[in-house]
Amino acid sequence: MRLGWCLRLLPLAALAAVTAAVCPSRCRCDDTALETNCTGARLNSFPIALNPRLKRLLLADNAIRRLDASMVSSYNFLEYLDLSSNNMVSVQAGSFADQKNLLELRLSQNQLLELEPQVFLGLKQLSVLDLSHNRLRELPEGLLQPTPLLQQLNLAGNLLPTLTAGALLGAVSLRRLNVADNELRQVPAAALAQLAELDSLSLAGNSITRLSADELALAGPRLTDLSLAGNQLTALAGGTFRRLTSLRRLNLASTALATADAETFAGLHRLEELHLGGNPLSRLGAAALSTLPRLRLVAARACPGLNTIEAGAFAHNPALDTVLLEENPSLAALPRELCLRLPLLRRLSLHANALTSLPADAADWTRVHADLSGNPWRCDCKLRWLAQLPAAANASGAICAAPAALRGRLVRDVAPDELDCGGAEASSLALIVGLSVAAALLLLLAVLLCYRYRHRLHKMFKVLPWRDRVGLKRKEPYHHGTTYYCHDMYDPIHPRDSKPIPVTEL
């Protein structure tokens, strides 16, 4: 009896021994987790003698050039298979016919030039398919019909000039589509029209030069994430995004966008994240963002001509919690109160601009995390407020570039009394003194003139008590015969050496 049980257990023991013995030396085989990781193991063929109940098989970064049906069929319980970075040139149709449980398939970073129409036959449970960074020039019609539950498709980094409706036929559950860095010249509207569940679309890095509201509307009413970065759009017609009412994230970085006004983003009332970096924008004004009341993040990085952020640029965006104004070599000043009235603001990055000074009331520095690094700060009295911030304030990275005596020191480490305006304060004082002296001289001159022409002023205004008020002094009259004469010692019209005037004639 015992011998019979032993005979029955022999095959299982043998199988366990074989499984452990054939795990390649550079692989890590975990029969408890049912996972084998052979990443970078220098394999040149698909391993077929691993644990047949594997659920996860990682074969990235090897040299497996071809794949056929006899290889993957050894593992019918797979849920995850990674074959990226193998320089693979072909995948035979039916290679995955027995993979009823496979959820994620990665074939990126290979040399695939084409795919057979039935290559994904049998992948009824597939949710994620990564074909990025191959050399695909077209996708055959019906390619995705065997994958009705596919939710994520990555085609980035191929050579696709277009994306036909037939190529995506049957992908009714697709939610994320990445077609970045291909050779598309226009939005594949027909293909997108059948993707009713699509909520994320990347068309970045293509050659699209124009957009229309109708084309984008076909992307579906549920689209929340759209990237057009790296295309040459130059200008966007007003209302281009008007029908994308569910959009929450829009990436327009490096699209040659030179201007933006209220109509540019009209209709995007739910937008929360906007990326404008790498564009030839010269100014960012309040009108551009005025239709985005829910905006939480705005980023303007590496805009070479951006020199003006208008006062009130964020006045219509009370939900902002992140503002990224970075690496703009022409941005030398910011207006007062730029971010002061943003109650939810938590992060402000001003890294690597051309700022030499900053208004103390540009933001509430006690509650915002601010990156001030990489700017040529001039450490004078205008930055004294920064050195006086409480130690708990998180405004960091500002290093003095001038004057020479403070160069290289952190502003927060400089004593406030070291931050003065030197010659500027002396010049101001000299100006005040000069103006005071000039005013005094003008006043003295006016008094002298009034005094000199007092009689004319007296006659002009006919003020009888004039002489009494100015305190005129007269000599005592002297007798010259029968007539009294008098000299007015202060009379400029009748000097001393003139003929005496009879008193009766005065």
Q: How far apart are the C-alpha atoms of 372 and 370, rounded to whole Å? A: 6
Instruction: Inform me whether the pLDDT recorded for 475 exceeds 50.
Output: no
Greatest Cα pair distance in the chain = 178
Q: What is the pLDDT of residue 459?
A: 64
- Average pLDDT of the segment spanning 63-72: 93
**CA quadruple 68, 70, 74, 76: dihedral positive or negative?**
positive
List domains and CATH numbers for the chain: 22-208 (3.80.10.10), 453-505 (no CATH)
Question: Which whole-number Å values give the CA distances from 136 to 40, 69, 89, in the listed order?
Answer: 25, 21, 11
Q: What is the pLDDT of residue 218?
A: 82
Instruction: Inform me whether the pLDDT recorded for 18 exceeds 80.
Output: no
Give the mean pLDDT of the chain: 87
Residue 31 is encoded by which pair of tokens? 């029969």
Three-point CA angle 92, 124, 116, nearest 5°: 25
Least confident of 34-38, 285-289, 322-326, 501-505: 501-505
Q: How far apart are the C-alpha atoms of 139 and 411, rounded to whole Å? A: 58
Q: What is the pLDDT of residue 445?
A: 79
- Average pLDDT of the segment spanning 272-290: 96
Confidence of residue 2 (pLDDT cuts 50, 70, 90): very low
Q: What single DSSP character describes residue 76?
A: T
Length of the chain: 506
- Residue 257 near residue 234 (C-beta atoms within 8 A): yes
pTM: 0.79
- Average pLDDT of the segment spanning 52-78: 95
Q: What is the pLDDT of residue 198?
A: 95
Q: What is the pLDDT of residue 15?
A: 44
Instruction: Inform me whether the pLDDT recorded for 221 exceeds 90.
Output: no
Instruction: Inform me whether the pLDDT recorded for 288 exceeds 90.
Output: yes
Q: What is the pLDDT of residue 320?
A: 98
- Average pLDDT of the segment spanning 176-181: 98
Q: What single DSSP character describes residue 498?
A: S
Residue 335 is encoded by which pair of tokens? 């207006």
> Which carries the bigger pLDDT value, residue 403 or residue 469?
403
Instruction: Name which of 347, 372, 369 is nearest 359 in CA terms.
Output: 372
Return the C-alpha torsion angle 95, 97, 101, 104, nearest 10: 40
Instruction: Inform me whether the pLDDT recorded for 3 exceeds 70.
Output: no
Instruction: Inform me whether the pLDDT recorded for 293 exceeds 50.
Output: yes
Three-point CA angle 277, 279, 282, nearest 5°: 105
Residue 309 is encoded by which pair of tokens? 């952020």
What is the bridge-based pairing of β-strands 377-378 and 90-91? unpaired
Amino acid (one-letter) located at 113: L
Identity of the highest mean pLDDT range in 6-20, 256-270, 341-355, 430-444: 341-355
- Average pLDDT of the segment spanning 386-412: 95
**Residue 20 burial class via C-beta count within 10 angstroms: exposed 0-12, middle 13-18, buried 19 and up:** exposed
Q: What is the pLDDT of residue 433?
A: 66
Confidence of residue 287 (pLDDT cuts 50, 70, 90): very high
Q: How far apart are the C-alpha atoms of 134 and 150, rounded to whole Å? A: 20
| pLDDT, tens digit, 9 for 90 and up, residues 322-355 | 999 999 999 999 999 999 999 999 999 999 999 9
Confidence of residue 9 (pLDDT cuts 50, 70, 90): very low
Confidence of residue 35 (pLDDT cuts 50, 70, 90): very high
**CA quadruple 498, 502, 504, 505: dihedral positive or negative?**
negative
Phi/psi at 470 (5° precision): -85, -5
Amino acid (one-letter) located at 258: A
Confidence of residue 394 (pLDDT cuts 50, 70, 90): very high
- Average pLDDT of the segment spanning 111-121: 96
Cis check for the bond before 318: say yes or no (omega within 30 of 0). Answer: no
Kindly state the percentage of the chain with pLDDT values over 70.
83
Q: What is the pLDDT of residue 236?
A: 83
Q: What is the pLDDT of residue 500?
A: 53
- Average pLDDT of the segment spanning 416-432: 67
Instruction: Inform me whether the pLDDT recorded for 97 exceeds 90.
Output: yes
Per residue, what are the HEC states of 287-319? CCCCCCCCCCEEEEECCCCCCEECCCCCCCCCC
Other beta carbons within 10 Å of 216: 23
Q: What is the pLDDT of residue 424?
A: 45
- Average pLDDT of the segment spanning 301-318: 96
Residue 462 is encoded by which pair of tokens? 């006919």
Kindly state the percentage of the chain with pLDDT values over 90.
73
Instruction: Inform me whether the pLDDT recorded for 56 exceeds 90.
Output: yes
**Residue 343 burial class via C-beta count within 10 angstroms: exposed 0-12, middle 13-18, buried 19 and up:** exposed
Q: Which residues of 184-202 are buried (b: 16+ CB within 10 A; e: fewer)?
A: beebbbebbbbbeebbbbb
What is the bridge-based pairing of β-strands 400-402 and 377-378? parallel
- Average pLDDT of the segment spanning 372-387: 97
- Residue 113 near residue 138 (C-beta atoms within 8 A): no
Q: What is the pLDDT of residue 13?
A: 44
Give the bridge partners for 178, in sequence order.
154, 202
- Residue 309 near residue 288 (C-beta atoms within 8 A): no
Instruction: Inform me whether the pLDDT recorded for 400 exceeds 70.
Output: yes
Q: What is the pLDDT of residue 493?
A: 46
> Which carries the bigger pLDDT value, residue 456 or residue 230?
230
- Average pLDDT of the segment spanning 357-381: 97
| pLDDT, tens digit, 9 for 90 and up, residues 141-160 | 999 999 999 999 999 999 99
Q: What is the pLDDT of residue 502?
A: 53
